[in-house]
Chain A
Amino acid sequence: MNILDRLKDGLKKTRTQIASALSGASGSFDDRFYDALEDALILADIGLETSTDLIARLKSEIAGRGITTPAAAYAALKTLLAGDLAVTKLPDEFPPKPWVILVVGVNGVGKTTTIGKLAGEFGAAGKKVMLGAADTFRAGAVEQLKIWAQRTKADFVFQQDGADPASVAFDAMEASKARGIDVLILDTAGRLQNKTNLMNELSKIVRVIKRNLPQAPNEVLLVVDATTGQNALNQARVFNEIIGVTGFVITKLDGTSKGGIAVALSKNFGIPVRKIGVGEGVDDLQNFDPVSYVDALLGDLPDRV
Chain B
Amino acid sequence: MFEELTNRFESIFKKIRGQGKISEENIAEAMRDVKRALLEADVNYKVVKKFTADVSAKALGADILSSITPGQQFVKVVYDELAALMGGNARAIRFHTNRLNIVVLAGLQGSGKTTTCAKLALHFRKQGHRPLLIACDTHRVAAIDQLDTLGKSLEIPVFSDRAKSPLEICREGLAFAQREGFSLAVIDTAGRLHIDADMMAELKALCAAAKPDETFFVADAMAGQDAVNVAKEFHKEIKLSGVILTKMDGDSRGGAALSILDVIGVPLQFIGVGEKPDGLELFYPERMASRILGMGDIVSLVEKAQENFDLEESKKLEKKFRKSTFSLQDFLEQLRQIKKMGPLSDLLAMIPGVGSQLSGADVDEKALSRIEAMICSMTAEERDRPGIIDGNRRRRISLGSGTTVQDINKLLKQFDSMKSMMKRMNKIGSRRGQNAALKSMFPY
Q: Which residues of A contact B (CB under 8 A)?
A: 39, 42-45, 47-49, 106-110, 112-113, 116, 137-141, 143-144, 147-148, 161, 192-196, 225, 227-232, 234, 252, 254-258, 261, 280
Judge whether A230 and B142 touch: CB under 8 Å. Answer: no
Residue of A49, A108, A192, A261 contacting most chain B CB atoms (<10 Å): A108
Q: Report chain B residues within 8 Å CB of A112.
A: 141
Given the known A-B contacts A107-B112, A196-B362, A230-B42, are A144 and B222 also in contact in the complex, defined by CB atoms under 8 Å? no
Measured CB to CB, the closest approach of chain B to A51, in angstroms, equals 9
**Interface residue B150 (Cβ < 8 Å from any Cβ of A):** yes
Q: Known: A138-B146, A255-B193. Is A194-B251 also a contact (CB below 8 A)?
A: yes
CB-contacts of B67-111 with A (<8 A): 108-111
Complex contact B251–A192 (CB within 8 A): yes
Q: Chain A interface mostly helix, strand, loop or mixed?
A: loop
Provided the pairs A139-B150, A225-B110 are in contact, do residues A106 and B40 lie with their beta carbons within 8 angstroms?
A: no
Do B252 and A108 touch (CB < 8 A)?
Answer: no
Chain A residues positioned under 8 Å from B222 (CB to CB): 106, 225, 228-229, 231-232
Cβ-defined contact, A227 with B362, below 8 A: no
* Docked complex Cα distance between A284 and B201 (Å): 23
- A108 pairs with B247, CB closer than 8 A: yes
**B421 within 8 Å of A (CB atoms):** no
Q: Which residues of B contact A252 (CB under 8 A)?
A: 108-110, 193
The 0/1 profile, CB within 8 Å of A marked 1, for residues 134-149 of chain B is 0000011111111111
- Chain B nearest Cβ from A166, distance in angstroms: 19
A-B contact pairs, 15 of them (CB 8 A): A44-B225, A108-B220, A140-B144, A140-B147, A227-B223, A227-B226, A227-B227, A228-B222, A231-B252, A254-B193, A255-B195, A256-B193, A256-B194, A258-B224, A258-B226
Q: Which A residues lie within 8 Å of B256 (CB)?
A: 229
Q: How far is the CB of A5 from chain B (nearest CB, A)?
A: 14
What is the interface residue range for chain B against chain A? 35 or more
User: Min CB distance, B229 to chain A, in Å?
Assistant: 8
B225 touches A43 (CB 8 A): yes
Q: Distance in Å from the Cβ of A195 to the closest Cβ of chain B?
A: 8
CA distance A106 to B247 in the complex (A): 9
Q: Which 9 A-B pairs have the closest CB atoms?
A: A229-B224, A140-B146, A108-B110, A229-B42, A144-B142, A139-B149, A192-B250, A143-B142, A140-B145
Beta-carbon contact of B142 and A234 below 8 Å: no
Within 8 A of A (CB), among B208-252: 220, 222-227, 229-230, 247, 249-252
Per the bound structure, the CA–CA distance linking A39 and B256 in Å amounts to 17
Q: Is B253 an interface residue (CB 8 A)?
A: yes
Q: How many whole Å from A40's CB to the nearest CB in chain B?
A: 9
Contact (Cβ within 8 A) A231 B230: no
- Tell whether B267 is near chain A: CB-to-CB under 8 Å: no
Contact with A along B355-394 (1 / 0, CB 8 A): 0000000100000000000000000000000000000000
| Among candidates B45, B145, B196, B249, residue contacting A39 with C-beta atoms closer than 8 Å | B45
Cα distance, A144 to B145, chains bound together (Å): 9
CB neighbours of B194 from chain A (8 A): 255-256
* List of B residues within 8 angstroms of A229 by Cβ: 42, 222-225, 227, 252, 255-256
A144 to B230, CA, bound (A): 26
The residues of A that contact B147 with a CB separation of less than 8 Å are 139-140
- Cβ B225 vs Cβ A45 within 8 A: yes
CB distance from B114 to the nearest CB of A (A): 8
Given known contacts A107-B112, A107-B247, A139 and B145 CB-to-CB distance under 8 angstroms? yes
Identity of the chain B residue whose Cβ is nearest the Cβ of A147 in the assembled complex: B141
Among B142, B148, B251, residue most surrounded by chain A Cβ atoms (within 10 Å): B142
Q: Does B275 contact A (CB under 8 A)?
A: yes
Residues of the A chain whose Cβ atoms lie less than 8 Å from the Cβ of B250 = 106, 192-194, 231
Q: Which of B150, B196, B255, B275 contacts A107 (CB 8 A)?
A: B275
Residues in B with CB closer than 8 Å to A137 are 275
Report the bound CA distance from A144 to B143 in whole Å: 8
Most A CB atoms within 10 A — which of B39, B143, B150?
B39
A238 to chain B, nearest CB (A): 8
The answer to whether A231 and B253 touch across the interface, beta carbons within 8 angstroms, is: yes
Q: How far is the CB of A59 from chain B (nearest CB, A)?
A: 20
Kindly state the separation between the CA atoms of A230 and B39 in the bound complex, as whole angstroms.
9
Q: Report how far A234 CA is from B39 CA in the complex, Å.
A: 15
Quick check: is B439 within 8 A (CB to CB) of the other chain?
A: no
Kindly list chain A residues whose C-beta atoms are within 8 Å of the C-beta of B225. Answer: 42-45, 229, 258
Q: Is the CB of B108 within 8 A of A227?
A: yes
For the complex, what is the distance from the CA of A106 to the CA of B142, rounded to whole Å?
19
The answer on a CB contact under 8 Å between B253 and A230 is yes
B36 in the interface (beta carbon within 8 A): yes
When the two chains form their complex, are residues B142 and A256 in contact, meaning their CB atoms are under 8 A apart? no
Complex formed: what's the CA distance from A107 to B249 in Å?
11
Most chain A CB neighbours (cut-off 10 Å) among B40, B255, B256: B40
A110 surroundings in chain B (CB, below 8 A): 109-110
Closest B residue to A42 by beta carbon equals B45
Chain B residue, CB-CB nearest to A39: B45
Question: Complex formed: what's the CA distance from A83 to B234 in Å?
Answer: 37
Q: In chain A, what residue has the closest Cβ to B359?
A: A194
Tell me the complex Cα distance, A112–B146, Å. 14
Nearest CB of chain B from residue A115's CB, rounded to whole Å: 11
Q: Which residues of B contact A256 (CB under 8 A)?
A: 108, 193-195, 226, 229-230
A140 touching B275 by the CB < 8 A rule?
A: no
Residue from A148, A194, A227, A258 in contact with B220 in the complex, judged by beta carbons closer than 8 Å = A227
CB distance from B44 to the nearest CB of A (A): 9
**A248 nearest CB across to chain B (Å):** 15
CB-CB under 8 A from A140, the residues of chain B are 142-149
Known contacts A42-B39, A147-B142, A227 near B112 by CB under 8 Å? no
State in angstroms the CA–CA spacing of A257 and B36 once bound together. 22
How long is the Cα–Cα vector from A192 to B141 in the complex, in angstroms? 23
CB-based contact B141/A148 at 8 Å = yes
Q: Give Cα distance in the complex from A109 to B112, angstroms.
A: 10
Which residue of chain B has its CB nearest to the CB of A111? B110
Once the chains bind, are B110 and A45 in contact (CB under 8 Å)?
no
User: With A44-B225, A45-B226, A255-B195 in contact, is A141–B142 under 8 Å at CB?
Assistant: yes
| Beta-carbon contact of B146 and A231 below 8 Å | no
Q: A297–B252 Cα gap in the complex (Å)?
A: 25
Known: A42-B45, A43-B45, A225-B222. Is A108-B142 also a contact (CB below 8 A)?
A: no
Q: Is the beta-carbon distance between A230 and B40 smaller than 8 angstroms? A: yes
Bound-state Cα–Cα, A280 to B111, Å: 15
The smallest beta-carbon distance between B181 and chain A, in angstroms, is 27
Cβ–Cβ contact A192 & B247, under 8 A: yes
Q: Give the distance to chain A from B202, nearest Cβ to Cβ, in Å.
A: 14
**B362 CB contacts on chain A under 8 angstroms:** 196
B47 to chain A, nearest CB (A): 12
